[in-house]
Structures are given as structure tokens and as C-alpha cells.
Amino acid sequence: MDSLTQIVLGGAIAAAIAPPRHRRAALLAGAALGTLPDLDSLPIALFTDDPVALMTLHRGFSHSLFVLPLLGWLLWAFFRRRGGRVSESPTRWFWAIQLALLTHPLLDAFTVYGTQLLWPLPLPPVMWSSVFIIDPLYTVWLLAACIAALVLHERPAAGRALVAGLVLSTAYLGWSLLAKGLVEREAGRSLAAIGLADAPRFATPMPFNTLLWRVVAMTPDGYVEGFRSLAGDEGLMRFEHHASDVGALADAADIPAVERLAWFNHGFMRAAEIDGGLVLTDLRMGSEPDYSFSFVVAERDGGQWRGVAPRQLAMSWDDIGRRLPLVWARIFDPGVELAADACHSMSC
């Protein structure tokens, strides 16, 4: 999730657990702890400028449910020895520190990017993909709770505001899982109707909401993409087919960057040969024809693919900004085309 959300989540949790007299300090401590795991990008960037490594190592060791409890205990023990608030109420502060840290990767796992919750086990990242990376309807309750706690301080109303904010934001996560289940049920019926009942697939919400969803299913020669609005759609989903150079992807499967990306994105990527280079695009983040992560990972060397230092291709932010208003319109009007100007070949 975005940094603001992680800050207010950590702050709200720590302030709700700490004694009322420590509430303002807990807000600040929880905010710092809530954003701490995302600082992993700094040490990673010191050792590599490989964009594939930067992408796939993020949300790794610093988001591990094996690592964070130990880190939380070390922080708690350090501040307890120094005296002050932690030593005054060690049990409450122990859980405030632990939960402010642990809720960060758990919340990240609700997005489609993926989070390596069990690092260093070589398991693919967890991606429950039920909320967009920025979702105001999740964040607003936590932000309001933190503001109330800051203003009201030790008053009982501050504690009630924090509990209410945490309950409402958690309930929204529960709704997102229910919404995803409804979409996946309709997607399953619709894909079965076109002969793709067993196709690998994922569903993820479109930006800033949980009413409009995007579903992608892999096919032998590419993938299909469809949209489902819980507010405006009825009947079977309509899917559009898009090609992928699956032959090139198979030929280059042993190249380290290709292997790493396939592991990281669970195989949800397209391949295209562009100007003699093999371009791999993560299909999970974005929609046709605009995606957040595309990498040149190999070049033609005679009849074979030769791995090269990965290079990330820039995305068109202008096109994305232009299409965002269509997302809101598509929620209520099934006739709105989100990618009406998209071409469907891999040379787009």
C-alpha cells in the first residue's frame, strides 16, 4: 500500500494499544514503524541498479513474518532498557511495536504486487489482490482516527475513535475479499463459456475502488482481459484476446531475469520481440495498453536469445491520467471502453 496508508495504520494500531498517557508518542512511533519495512529499497539500491532485482527484491526480507517479530523484539528490548515509556508499560508497548510492524506486510499482501511474507523460503510472493495500492475508502478511517487521537489525547473518546477507525478499515478489507469472490465467481462462469475454465487467472480492482475489477486469464497463445463492475454489469463477462510471443518466452525461459520475473509475477506476463529485444511485461499492474513494469531482458543472438542487463521501459503517465476518469464512468456504465484506442498486437 501507499506510504500514507502504512503510516496511519501503524500509528492507529500503536496508539490504540499503548496507555492513554502515551498515546501521542505511540502515534509517532507507530507511524515510523509502519513505514519502516518499505525502507528496504534503500539498501537494495546500494548493491544493484538492475530494475528486475529492484522490483523483485522489494517486499522481501523487510516484509518477512520471520524477520519482523525478531526486529520488533530487539527494538522493544532496546527501549525498555533505556527506561521511559516502554519500561513503564512493557507489555502494551511490546504488542504496539509488534503489530505496527507486522500489519505492514499483511496489508501489502492484499495488493496485487505481491509480498514475500515467508522470506527466505523460496515461495512466490503472496498476492491476495483485493485492494488497489491506493484506496481512499480504506485509508480515510485510519487517518480520521489518528487525527482524533492526536487532538483528544488521553480522553476516552480518542480510544473509541482509534478502535472505530481500525474496525471500519478492517471491515473494508473484508468487503474487498467478498467483492473479489463475487467477481471471481462470474469470471469463472464466463471463462468456462469460452473454453477457458482451467486457465490460470487473477482478479484485481481498478484504481481507487473495489466496485470495478479487472480479470486476466492466460491462454496458450497469450491472454484475455475483461472487466466486471459490481454496480453496473449483468450477465457473462466479455473478454478480449491479446497475443503474446509464447515461443520466445519458452526459448528464453532459462535466462535469469526471465526466471526471476516468472517467479515473482506467477507467470502473469506477456512477451514481445521489439527491435530485436525480448520485452517482458507484468500483466498484473495496469491494463491494456498501459502497464507499470516492462523490461528488456534479452537480445537475439543468431537463432537464440542471449540475456542482457535488464532495462526498464518508461510508461506513459499522460495516457494513464487521461484514462482514469473512464474508470469511474465504467463502474456505472458497461458501455464505457477503458482501452478503446488500444491496439492488440505486441508491437503497440
Q: Over 50: is that where the pLDDT of 67 sits? A: yes
Dump pLDDT digits (tens) for 19-58. 999 999 999 999 999 999 999 989 999 999 999 999 999 9
Which of 73-77, 128-132, 325-329 is least confident?
325-329
Instruction: Name the nearest CA neighbour of 5 among 101, 77, 106, 104.
Output: 104
Note the pLDDT of residue 347.
28
- Nearest Cα to Cα of residue 304 among 275, 336, 332, 278: 278
Least-confidence region, from 121-135, 272-286, 315-329: 315-329
Identify the pLDDT of residue 320. 66
Looking at residue 325, what is its pLDDT?
87
Least confident of 129-133, 160-164, 220-224, 343-347: 343-347
Quote the pLDDT of residue 319: 63
Mean pLDDT of the chain: 94
Tell me the mean pLDDT in the region 202-223. Answer: 97
Per-residue pLDDT band for 335 (boundaries 50, 70, 90) equals confident
Q: What angle do helix axes 68-81 and 90-108 make, rounded to 10 degrees?
A: 150
pLDDT over 80 at 89, yes or no: yes
Quick one: what percent of the chain has pLDDT higher than 90?
A: 89
Overall pTM surpassing 0.85 (yes/no): yes
Q: What tens digit of pLDDT does each residue of 157-199 get?
A: 999 999 999 999 999 999 999 999 999 999 999 999 999 999 9
Instruction: Give the separation between CA 54 and CA 70, rounded to whole angstroms.
Output: 24
Residue 317's pLDDT is: 66
* Domain boundary assignment for the chain: 3-128, 181-332
- Residue 318: per-residue pLDDT: 65
Give per-residue pLDDT as tens, 290-314.
899 999 999 998 889 999 999 999 8
Banded pLDDT at 339 (limits 50, 70, 90): low
Average of per-residue pLDDT across 84-107: 97
CA dist 305 → 211, 214, 258, 312 (Å): 42, 32, 11, 18
Q: What are φ and ψ of residue 284, in 5° steps?
A: -80, -30
Query: What is the 3-state secondary structure of the chain?
Result: CCHHHHHHHHHHHHHHHCCHHHHHHHHHHHHHHHHHHHHHHHHHHHHCCCHHHHHHHCCCHHHCCCCHHHHHHHHHHHHHHCCCHHHHCHHHHHHHHHHHHHHHHHHHCCCCCCECCCCCCCCCCECCCCCCCCCHHHHHHHHHHHHHHHHHCCCHHHHHHHHHHHHHHHHHHHHHHHHHHHHHHHHHHHHHHCCCCCCCEEEEECCCCCCEEEEEEEECCEEEEEEEECCCCCCCCCEEEEECCHHHHHHCCCCHHHHHHHHHCCCCEEEEEECCEEEEEECCCEECCEECCEEEEEEEECCEEEEEEEEECCCCHHHHHHHHHHHHHHHHCCCCCCCCCCCCCCCC
Q: What percent of the chain has pLDDT over 70?
A: 96
Q: On the CB side of 288, how many CA atoms lie within 13 Å of its CA?
A: 27
Q: Residues 6 or more apart from 308 whose CB is under 8 A from it?
A: 277, 296, 297, 298, 299
